[in-house]
Amino acid sequence: MAPPDDTSSRDEGAAAASGDAVIEALQAEIALLRAENAALAGRLMELERQLGLNSGNSGKPPSSDGLKKPARVSSLRERSGKKTGGQKGHPGETLRRTQTPDATIDHYPQICMACGEPLTAAMATDHVARQVFDLPEPQPLIITEHRAYGCLCAACGTQTRAAFPDGVVAPVQYGKRIGAFVLYLLHYQLLPEKRLAALMADLFGVHLVTATIARISQDCAERFQGFADAVRDRVAAAPVKHMDETGFRIGGKTQWLHIASTIWLTFYRVSPKRGSLLAHVTGIVVHDHWKPYYTLTGVLHALCNAHHLRELKALVEIEKEDWARRMQRLLRCACHATNLAREQGVPLKPGLLALIERCYDAILADGLAFHQAQPALLRAVGKGKAGGRQPRRVGHNLLLRLSVRKPDVLRFLTNPRVPFTNNLAERDGRMMKLRQKISGGFRSDDGAKDFAAVRSVLSTARKQGWDILQTLIGDPVRLIAELRLR
C-alpha cells in the first residue's frame, strides 16, 4: 500500500478551514444585516408613529396640527348625558331692559293711517318702548391741576408748602385710569405696544409712545411685586397646587416660564433653567410627570390623567394595543364616578374604589404580559450607550409609569381636592404662549419679569372675581388682605 501524501492532506485541511472561515464570515454578515434590518424596521415604526401623533393623542399643541387638522370625531371627556348649551340655573348674559334709561326719545305718528288727518302728541293713548344700549361718545381727557400752596407763618416767618397727593409726582403725567387701561390691554388682552398706542390714539385721543407704555408696565410691576410674592407664598403653602412650565424666548434665547396656581391664585416667574422649581412647597403637587417635580421633598404628587388619556389614545389608534383601550375606558369611568360623588358631596363607596383598583391592576398585568411577549427592540445604530438599558416600546414605558406611580395616578379617587387633570395650570399657561405668538419674545429679562409679575396680578384678580381695572389702581397691601384662599 502506498504511504499517504502529506501534501495533499494539508491542502484539503487548508481548504476546509478556509471554507469554515467563509461560512463564519457570511453568517456574521447575515446576522449584522438582520440586526440593521430590525433596527431600520423599528426606526420606520417610530417615524410612522410620530406622523400619527397630533394634539388629540399626544402632548403636542393644537398649533402644530397646521392646516391639516384632523376632524374631531371624539372627545376625551366622558359624556354627561346633558343637552348641549346653557344648563338649567345658568344665569346667562341676555340683554335686559332697564327701568332707568339715560335718555328717552318720543316718536309720534304724523298722520292717521286710515283717513290721513294730522295727529299730535296730545292725542297719544299708549306707547311701545324699545331700548338701545350703546357706548357713549368719546370725551376729551379730564385734566386735573393740583396746586400745592405755600403759606407763610405769621408767628415765626416760616413758609410751609402743602404736599401733593400720592401718585402725583411730575409736572405733567397720565392718571391712574389711563395706566390701568394700558396695562389691561398690554398684559391681559396681549396687544403689542404699537397697536396699543394706535388704539389709545384712535379711541381716546391719548398719544403714547412705546417707551411710555414700557415705563407704565415697569412701574406697575414694581408696585405689585409684594403682591406677587404674597401670591407665591400662598400657592406654595396651599393644600393642592398645580405646576407646569413652558418655553419663553427672552433676549433671543429659550428660557422658561414657570406656573404655580390654585383655583384662586396664579403665580408666574421666569427662569433660565427649566429645573428651577418653586421653593418651600408643601401639600399635593399636580403635574404632568416631568421627573424633576419628583425631586421636591415633603410633598405628595398627583399626575395629570388628561396626558394619560391622550397617550392611551395614541396607543389605541396607532399601535392597536387592546390594554390601552381598556385603561382609557376605566380612567374615564373613574373620573365620571368621582365627579358624581363630588356633586353629591360624598366620597366614593369603598366597594367601588376597590373594584376600580382591581380592574386597574388587571389591565396593567395584561399590558405588561403583552409587552414581555414581544420581541426585544434593537438599539439603533449609533444611538445609546453600549451596555445601556434595553430600549422599550412607548406602551411599555407608559405601563411602567402607571404601575410605579399608581398612587399618584389614582389620587383623585380618594382626595376630593385633587382633580383628574392638570388642566388648571395648562390653561394658566396657554395665554402666555399666545402672547409670544402675537408679540414675539422679550428683549430683556427685566421685561419678562415685569410681565410675569403683572400677569400674576391679573390672573389672580380674575380668579378672585375682582374688577380688573380697579385692581390695577388699587392698593396692593389692601388686596393682599382681601385674598380668598378657598
Using one digit for the tens of pLDDT, what is the confidence trace for 449-482? 999 999 999 999 999 999 999 999 999 999 999 9
In three-state secondary structure terms, 238 is: coil
What is the pTM for the complete model shown? 0.78
Q: Smallest Cα–Cα separation from 363: which of 318, 409, 317?
A: 409
Q: Per the structure block, which three cell numbers stand in for 69?
A: 387638522
Distance CA 50, CA 164 (A): 65
pLDDT exceeds 70 at position 61: no
> 17-28 burial by CB neighbour count: b if 16+ within 10 A, else e?
eeeeeeeeeeee
Q: Per the structure block, which three cell numbers stand in for 480?
A: 393682599
Residue 72 is predicted with a pLDDT of 57
Residue 17 is predicted with a pLDDT of 66
pLDDT exceeds 70 at position 20: yes
**Packing angle of the helix pair 193-204, 210-223 (nearest 10 deg):** 100
75 or 267: whose pLDDT is higher?
A: 267
> 57-72 burial by CB neighbour count: b if 16+ within 10 A, else e?
bbeeeeeeeeeeeeee
Q: How confident is the model at residue 383 (pLDDT cuts 50, 70, 90)?
A: low
Q: How confident is the model at residue 486 (pLDDT cuts 50, 70, 90)?
A: confident
Q: How confident is the model at residue 108 (pLDDT cuts 50, 70, 90)?
A: very high
Q: Per the structure block, which three cell numbers stand in for 361?
A: 391592576
Distance CA 474, CA 201 (A): 25
Residue 384 is predicted with a pLDDT of 55
Distance CA 340, CA 346 (A): 9
Q: Per the structure block, which three cell numbers stand in for 119?
A: 295727529
- E strands in 39-132: none
In three-state secondary structure terms, 291 is: helix
- Torsion-angle region of residue 232: left (phi > 0), alpha (psi -120 to 50) or beta? alpha
DSSP 295-328: G-SSEEEEE-HHHHHHHHHHIIIII--HHHHHHH
pLDDT exceeds 60 at position 33: yes
CA 199 remoteness from chain centre: 28
Average pLDDT value for residue range 80-92: 70
DSSP state of 206: -
For a pLDDT cut of 70, what percent of the chain falls above it? 85
Residue 16 is predicted with a pLDDT of 64
Residue type, 455: R
326 or 33: whose pLDDT is higher?
A: 326
Q: How confident is the model at residue 136 (pLDDT cuts 50, 70, 90)?
A: confident
- 242, 262 contact by CB (below 8 A): yes
Distance CA 278, CA 459 (A): 18
> 345-372 burial by CB neighbour count: b if 16+ within 10 A, else e?
eeebeeeebeebeebbeebbeebbebbe
Q: Smallest Cα–Cα separation from 310: which of 38, 121, 52, 131?
A: 52
Average pLDDT value for residue range 271-299: 93
- 328, 316 contact by CB (below 8 A): yes
Distance CA 357, CA 65 (A): 36
Residue 430 is predicted with a pLDDT of 86
- Within 373-422, residue ranges assigned H as helices are 394-404, 406-409, 411-414
Residue 29 is predicted with a pLDDT of 78
Q: What is the mean pLDDT of the chain?
A: 87
Residue 40 is predicted with a pLDDT of 73
Q: Smallest Cα–Cα separation from 462: which of 420, 431, 437, 418?
A: 431
Please count the other Cβ atoms lying within 10 Å of the Cβ belonging to residue 229.
Answer: 14
- 92, 85 contact by CB (below 8 A): no
Using one digit for the tens of pLDDT, what is the confidence trace for 405-451? 999 999 999 999 999 999 999 999 888 888 888 877 888 889 999 99
Q: How confident is the model at residue 238 (pLDDT cuts 50, 70, 90)?
A: very high
Q: How confident is the model at residue 71 (pLDDT cuts 50, 70, 90)?
A: low
Residue 30 is predicted with a pLDDT of 80
For a pLDDT cut of 90, what percent of the chain falls above it? 62
**Residue 97: partners with Cβ closer than 8 Å, 6 or more residues away:** 129, 131
Residue 15 is predicted with a pLDDT of 63
Residue 80 is predicted with a pLDDT of 62
Q: Smallest Cα–Cα separation from 32: which of 306, 336, 378, 385?
A: 378
Using one digit for the tens of pLDDT, what is the confidence trace for 304-353? 999 999 999 999 988 889 999 999 999 999 999 999 999 999 999 999 99
From 102-116, 129-143, 281-295, 346-360, the region with the lowest mean pLDDT: 129-143
DSSP state of 380: P
Average pLDDT value for residue range 44-49: 70
Residue 285 is predicted with a pLDDT of 97
pLDDT exceeds 90 at position 216: yes
Residue 433 is predicted with a pLDDT of 81
Q: How confident is the model at residue 9 (pLDDT cuts 50, 70, 90)?
A: low
- 263, 238 contact by CB (below 8 A): no
Q: Which helix (H) or strand (E) holds 347?
A: none
Q: Nearest-5° angle of CA 210, CA 216, CA 219?
A: 140
